[in-house]
Structure 1
């Protein structure tokens, strides 16, 4: 079964826009779990423009499913994660000013850095996933750095899937995802996926990469919830992930 982890960053963005505590992020997380989410994902950034470091501390005792903290492993980020000890930490190579994640790690270029960071996290008993593009030649570097999982960066897939209605040849890109997934499984790595997955493209991805352990979805899910309601939306996403 592929788990759905709901990224609640966008709820925090809405709260921060007006100050105060509306929506209540802690209640949102608990409601997501109550409505069927199997995990909660947060991505605290240095400017704390959505998830704040204090949110992470406040969420830790409340999340009863899987707590996943993702982000760039700066000193401050690592101090937070090692203290909170979530179930999973997902490492992304974002610069501090990035609007959103837009690429995966170069596991060859950053091998020594990743090995050191991953070693610290695993010593603390935290499962480690690293953000990776659909590039077969970067998978071995993820394995040798000590990662438990890779999270396939699905932004390019989502863009090409949308274009495929008029340009079906674009789905040739999907072969890169399938080959990368197969290489990861062959090397003993587990698979996550995330970024721009939605109700249109999620089922196709799941059907063709059935080894998926988890998807992390935020922006599209929150947008859908504005029209469909949060509980219904979570159930619709889970339906796309059925075996």
Structure 2
């Protein structure tokens, strides 16, 4: 049986088959894989794939090219020494379907699972487990979901969803750290997070609390004023 496949969609479209990086080919072929992974377990129509590849102007032999991309991907996602490969990428009457099998992993799905687990731990007042789990989740974020295809229409909703989930994970991780008694060591991280997301109100609150805990009351008041001015200006 073929070894497990680890798919990566954060920052770049990549796959490792049984620990070996797969040669996924050019941008069009990687785009097909990205669309199939976005709809993993669901049949993706030929028309939808064609729209993702060529928008409204498919070439004369677009269908032939699409079949070639799928065939190449099917081969790429099978270990070279496999005698009886399993079928991850199926050709069906209405299109194509990519399924995660056995120990296959997708970084986006793992990220979402870890964020859910971390926030659930916080809900049980297990701040230590919540902090560790959310830290692990955020380490998976290596760039925008779907990488070079993040601005394509097929990826738009998922990019927004995962970006919002990351925002929530960052907020929840600081919440966990503060519950554990964190203070001065969090301030640089909070300032950096706010530089990237200056309208994140809860992060401003976390910063004020961290400053107050370290005896920097005036700086905490200053943070409040900065938050008020920023939100007034930006929102």
Shorter-chain TM-score bucket reads under 0.3
The structure that is strand-richer by fraction is 1
Structure with max Cα Rg: 2
The structure that is helix-richer by fraction is 2
**TM-score, length basis structure 2:** 0.25
**TM-score, length basis structure 1:** 0.24
